[in-house]
Amino acid sequence: MVYLYRTLILILIFIISYLFGSIPNGLIIGKLFYHKDPRNYGSHNVGGTNTGRILGKKAGLATIILDMLKLIIPFFLCYFLFTYNDFLTHLMDSTSQELNIFGKGNTLNQLTYYLAGFGAIIGHGFSIFLKFKGGKVVSTYAATQISLSYLSIPLFGGIFFLILRIKKEVSLSSLIAGFSIMIFSWLIYLIYALTYKYGDYSQYLMWFNYGPTCSIYYPILMTLGYIILFFKHRSNIKRIKEGNENKIQWMK
């Protein structure tokens, strides 16, 4: 019976996170404050870049922040509930290593908050409120990494803005920075797992990762997230190859 409860909890977490991620902040801001639908202009999506291009920098920044919170809130809510609540941690058997593939931290408890992150990414890209269309998941993908590593903002923010300064293309900057995040997640996990396997030096890696234990779910989530990000940028990739991708005007 306990396995049924665990399965139902995991399904419920995904559904709630998906619905949370499905909230179309760009559309809400556009309709509520500007009486415009971002989907009718530019790249026709409700992400922060298109919203900012159509409605202005303030609207775009507000959309990006709110879209990031769509992931951060359910992610950390699950983290605290399934780490510090005695009933839930016992129900999900946090001390069990039955799902341990390599190293430590690959338990059902860890799966809960990584699953919440994945649900929010799916919701952002394929919103049930927008007939399964949505943003290009850059904000939620970045929010996942920010939720997991101190290095996220200086390292990947640096990569993003460096490419943006050189090429003036948000989509290209997002694709390159996102790919860097995916590679980084595998490197950190493998280092973490190997040091634990051959002597627990994992405490020295806490500067790189904080909060949730570094587990196999981390690189898997970042890989699946990047696949979705890449898929959502298909039209941008085509325009980049043709040399006619939209360029920003505000960075000189």
For the stretch 123-133, pLDDT in tens is: 999 999 999 99
Any domain includes 251: no
- Dihedral sign (CA 7, 12, 13, 14): positive
Would you say the pTM of this structure is higher than 0.85?
yes
Is residue 120 very low, low, confident or very high in pLDDT (cuts 50, 70, 90)?
Answer: very high
Between CA 250 and CA 247 the distance in angstroms is 9
pLDDT of residue 138: 93
Does pLDDT of 6 surpass 90?
Answer: no
Any domain includes 194: yes
Any domain includes 250: no
Does pLDDT of 96 surpass 70?
Answer: no
Domain that holds residue 58: 2-242
Any domain includes 249: no
The total of structural domains in the chain comes to 1
Any domain includes 183: yes
Between CA 48 and CA 28 the distance in angstroms is 12
Strand-pairing partners, residue 133, are: 127
Any domain includes 178: yes
